[in-house]
Amino acid sequence: MATIRLGDIAPDFKAETTQGTIQFHEWLGDSWGVLFSHPSDFTPVCTTELGTVANYFSEFQKRNVKVIALSVDGLESHHNWIKDIEETQNVTLQYPIIADENKEVANLYDMIHPNANDTFTVRSVFIIGADKKVKLILTYPASTGRNFDELLRVIDSLQLTANYSVATPANWKDGDDVVISPSIKDEDIPAKFPKGFNRIKYYLRLTPQPNK
């Protein structure tokens, strides 16, 4: 079982989901993707997480991001769990949950960590670009709910920095100033960043977000 690293092509797979059979890369199409796993169905923290993603579904759509969840339970269990999620979180679940009973996808994405739990998947998140490459990997313990505001913030940063020679500083949010790549010379900045820039150090130069 190979470890997945940033920049790797996200492994493709065929799987049964609550919205039918998918071929992962084909399902993604030209979209970005968020694949996030859950230890099992009917778990309290994950119930709140799937509800939160349903509430944020339009925000993912705005960013051309498809979301898909995974658990090692079966389709019947998933459909029953969805009823609970929709009832307790006051949402409608618009995205698929993969039924990974044989743990094929979990093993493909190295989601089973024996020292944490040798039976269930850990709670992993993979952000995948439109080029099918892995852009971010996060793994959470079972006791800590994921922060989906942070995932949207990271997607905003990834999509911005993919298109411009910039990076985003600590605690950056969409609309804040960004860091100009060190590879850009001072004299070349006006042509690339006509909004101006603030030269704090030769290696630290800030400019307004270029796509705003």
46 is catalytic: yes
Half-sphere exposure of 93 (CA within 13 A, CB side): 26
Instruction: Give per-residue burial for 31-51: e unless 16+ CB within 10 Å, then b.
Output: bbbbbbbbbbbebebbbebbb
Per the CB < 8 A criterion, the answer to whether 52 and 60 are in contact is no
Q: How far apart are CA 89 and CA 145, in angstroms?
A: 15
Amino acid (1-letter code) at residue 152: L
Find the angle CA(89)-CA(86)-CA(60) to the nearest 5 degrees. Answer: 80
Half-sphere exposure (Cβ direction) of 50: Cα atoms closer than 13 Å:
32
Q: Which of 46, 93, 122, 125 is catalytic?
A: 46
The structure tokens 């995205």 sit at 95
Catalytic sites, residue numbers: 46
